[in-house]
Amino acid sequence: MQWHSKNFNELTNHELYSILKARTDVFVVEQNCAYPELDNYDQESIHYYGTIKNEIAAYVRLLPKGLKYEDAAAIGRVLVSKKFRSHGIAREIMERSIDFIVDEWKENNIKIQAQDYLKDFYRSLGFIQISDVYLEDGIPHIDMQFK
């Protein structure tokens, strides 16, 4: 696995296309959910992803404090491409993302909007639930915070 962290302006056209395709494949097609994938956060975020043979295996979007939440950085658009699942890659990319935010941005307050069925996974990484379950684009979600 080769890991990359790039801001929006560092991404090549090919990299940006691959990222948007992976996000659309998982969040729109696989989850059968029409939602505003392009939300104007990409331009100010860090795009952290792992590739295997130049194919995106895993991806997260890291949002600096003040972009989505005034008081916290955020991790969003967490995905592992279908053919690379069940190999621990989700845990690895989340651990790397937390380390990036803590080490590079010196930020310990991290929030996520997690799909409710994944709450135990995120708890195992140090996140706690801070909201009731709510629907986001027709999918049950909860807000969680890294502690």
What pLDDT does residue 31 have? 82
Answer whether residue 65 shows pLDDT above 90: yes
Q: Which long-range contacts (CB under 8 A, 24 or more apart) does 101-110 make?
A: 101/62, 101/73, 101/75, 105/64, 105/65, 105/73, 107/64, 107/65, 107/72, 107/73, 108/146, 109/65, 109/71, 109/72, 109/73, 109/145, 109/146, 110/72, 110/73, 110/74, 110/75, 110/145, 110/146
Domain range list for the chain? 2-146
Sole residue written with tokens 């279908």: 82
The fold for domain 2-146 equals Aminopeptidase (3.40.630)
Answer whether residue 130 shows pLDDT above 80: yes
Answer whether residue 70 shows pLDDT above 80: yes
From residue 86, how far is each of 16, 34, 50, 60, 109 by CA, in Å?
25, 26, 15, 17, 28
- If pLDDT is split at 50, 70 and 90, which confidence band does 45 have? very high
